[in-house]
Structure 1
Amino acid sequence: MLRGKGAVVGTVAALAVALGAVVAGSVAVVRFVQTDAREAQPQAHRAVYDLTLDHGKSAGDILGLEGRMVVEWRGGPACDGYTSDQRVVTNSLDSGGHLSVSDVRLSSWEALDGNEFRFDRTEYLDGKLSMRESGIARREGGKVTLSEPDAEPQTLPGDVLFPSAFNFALTAAVQKGKSTFSRSLFDGTQSSPTVVTAFIGKPGEAPRDARSVKIKNRGDGAPLRGAKAWPIRMSYFDQGDDVQDGTPSFEMGFHMFPNGVMSKLSLDYDDVVLKGDLTQIEYFKPGGC
C-alpha cells in the first residue's frame, strides 16, 4: 500500500520484516517466495477504502481530511508475474484554512520468483504534477540493483523482498500462527528499503466494515462475513534508523483475512492518523491476468 506523509500530502505503502534468519542469495529467496506464494493462496481483487481523519488521535495542523484509496492486485503463473495498481486521493484542510487535493498513484510489476520489480509513481498536488519516479530493481548473484532514470545505480540488500513476495510471506506467517514477522521491504514508495516489523494478534470476528462491504463477483472469492480476521500492527523503520529505539517513521494497523484482503485500516503518520473503512471489493477470477 502507498505510504509516507505525502498521502496526507503524499504516499501510503505496503508491508515487511523478518522471518527468523536472514536469507542470503537469490536462489534461497526464490525458494522462499515460491513456497510462501503456495501457502498464502492470495485472492486477486480490487479493494476500495474510504479515508477519514481520526480526530481523537491526531494532533497536527490538519483540521479535516477525507478521501479514497483503491488497491488492485492480480497475477500468477499464467501471467508471468504480479501487477499492482494503487491510488490515493485526499482532500485536506489545514489550520490556516488552506484546502489541498492530493492524488498519488503507484503501479508496479513483480516477477513470479521475486527477483525483478518495476514501479512507476506519480503525485499530483492541487491538480499539478509534483513528482514522478520510476525504476527497476533486479536480484542477481546475491545482490539487488536498483536502476532509476537520471540516477546512479543503487545496491540494495540481497535479502530484500518486493511487495508481492512480502505479502506472501506475511500471510504465510499469519496462517502458521506466528505472533511477529520482520523483513526488509522495497516497494517503490521511497528510494531505499524499509525495515517493517509486524505484530500479529489472535484471529477474531470480522470488523464491521468487512461485514457490510459490497462485493462484486462473489462467486470468484470467499465471503468476509463470518470469516476470521487477524489484527496486525506494523511499524516501518527507514534504512539506517535504529529499530531498537522504538521510533518508527510510520505505523499501520489492519485486519487481514485468509485470502489476503484487509479491512479496518489505521494509518499513523505520527501527528496525523487516518482511518480506512473497506467499502467495496471486486474479486477477479483465479489465475486471470
Structure 2
Amino acid sequence: MPRILVTIAFFILGLGVAQAEEKIVMVPHTAIYDLQLETASDKSGISGLVGRMAYEFNGSSCEGYTTRFRFVTRIDMTDSPARLTDQQMTSFETANGKEFRFVSKTIIDQEVTSETDGVAKIAKGEMVVNLKKPKEKEVKLKSAAFPTIQTIEVIRQAKAGRHFYRTTLFDGSDDADRLTDATVVIGDRVEAKADNETKVMGKLGNEPYWPVTISYFNDDENQDGLPVYRTSFLLYENGVTRDLVMDYGNFSVRGKLQTFKLFDVQPAKETCKE
C-alpha cells in the first residue's frame, strides 16, 4: 500500500528465525479504489472529498517488486475554492530489501508542487539515499524497511499470531530524506464474508484476512507523541488490501475496492538465478 501508502531491515520485537525464513508470495495485481470523505472536523476546513486511487503491483521474490501508484482527490473547502490533488509514484524494490528506487510527483491544481527522484541502498547496517530531486544530495540514515518488505513482514507477523510490533521504514515520501517510525496492530484472522469488495476480487475474495492498523510517527512534525497519520485496512496473505481508511487527524478518507485484476504470471520457481 501507499506510504500508503512494508535481509529484512526491520527493528522488530521478538521475530524468530522460522518466521523470517518463511516465504510469502505476493500476487501481481492492479486495484482501483473509490475514495470518499469519512470524517472531517471543523478545524480541517473540509466540506467534502471524492477521488480515486489506482495501485499496480508486479514482480516476484526473484525479480524484485515494481509498484505504480496514483492518488487523485478533489477536496471541497468551506472557505476557499475546491482543490484538485494528484499524487503519483513509481518504485522498484529488490527482493532482498537492500535497494529501493523511487520517482514521485505531487500536482495541486495543475501545478507541480513537489518531486522526488532517488535511490536508497542498505549496506553494513546503514542506508545511503542518493537524490536527484528535489535537489542533488546524499543522505545517510539508519537501516530500515522498504514498503514491500514492510507488507511482507506484516503478513509474517499476522500468520505467527502476533498482534503488535514496532518498525522503522523508508518510502521515499516528502523530501525522501528521513525515516518514519510506525506501530503495527494486527487483529485476529477473519474468515471470508461476502460483500461488494469481495465480489470484485473473484475467488480471492473467499480467502481469510486480517484487520491491520498502522500508525506513523514523526517527532519533527508532531512533538506531542501523536501519530502524523494512521491507516487501517483488511490484509490478505497474498498482499492484497481492501476497505482502506486513511486518518490524518482532522479528517479521514475511506477507500473501497471497485476494480481488481490479477496479472498473468509464470509459476514461481523454487530457486532464483544468481
- Aligned CA-pair RMSD: 2.8
For residues 250-289 of structure 1, what are the structure 2 equivalents within 5 Å? Answer: 250-287=229-266
1:162-185 deviation per Cα after TM superposition (whole angstroms, max 9, x unaligned): 111111111111111111132111
Q: Which residue number corresponds to residue 47 of structure 1? A: 31
Matched, 1:199 2:180: no
Instruction: State the Cα distance separating 1:246 from its structure 2 match.
Output: 4.7
Q: Which residue number corresponds to residue 65 of structure 1? A: 49
For residues 66-105 of structure 1, what are the structure 2 equivalents within 5 Å? Answer: 66-78=50-62, 80-105=63-88
Unaligned runs of 5+ in 2: 269-274
Instruction: State the Cα distance separating 1:198 from its structure 2 match.
Output: 0.8
Question: What amino acid does structure 1 have at the position aligned with 2:98?
Answer: N
Structure-2-length-normalised TM-score: 0.85
Task: Say whether the 8 Å CA contact 1:180–1:199 is kept in structure 2.
Answer: yes
- Larger RCO (CA under 8 A, 6+ residues apart): 1
1:55-75 deviation per Cα after TM superposition (whole angstroms, max 9, x unaligned): 3x5442110000000111110
Per residue, is there more helix in 1 or in 2?
1
* Cα distance in 1, alignment partners of residues 237 and 256 from structure 2: 18
Task: Say whether the 8 Å CA contact 1:195–1:239 is kept in structure 2.
Answer: no
Structure-1-length-normalised TM-score: 0.81
Q: Which residue number corresponds to residue 125 of structure 1? A: 108
Question: What amino acid does structure 1 have at the position aligned with 2:199?
Answer: S
Q: Which residue number corresponds to residue 197 of structure 2? A: 210
Matched, 1:19 2:12: yes
- Using a 3 Å threshold, how does the CA distance of structure 1 residues 32 and 195 change in structure 2: closer, same or farther? farther
Task: Say whether the 8 Å CA contact 2:146–2:171 is kept in structure 1.
Answer: yes
- Using a 3 Å threshold, how does the CA distance of structure 1 residues 125 and 42 change in structure 2: closer, same or farther? same
Farther off after superposition, 101-110 or 144-153 = 144-153
Q: Which residue number corresponds to residue 223 of structure 1? A: 204
Question: What amino acid does structure 2 have at the position aligned with 1:83?
Answer: T
Question: What amino acid does structure 2 have at the position aligned with 1:164?
Answer: T
Unaligned runs of 5+ in 1: 4-12
* Cα distance in 1, alignment partners of residues 95 and 254 from structure 2: 32
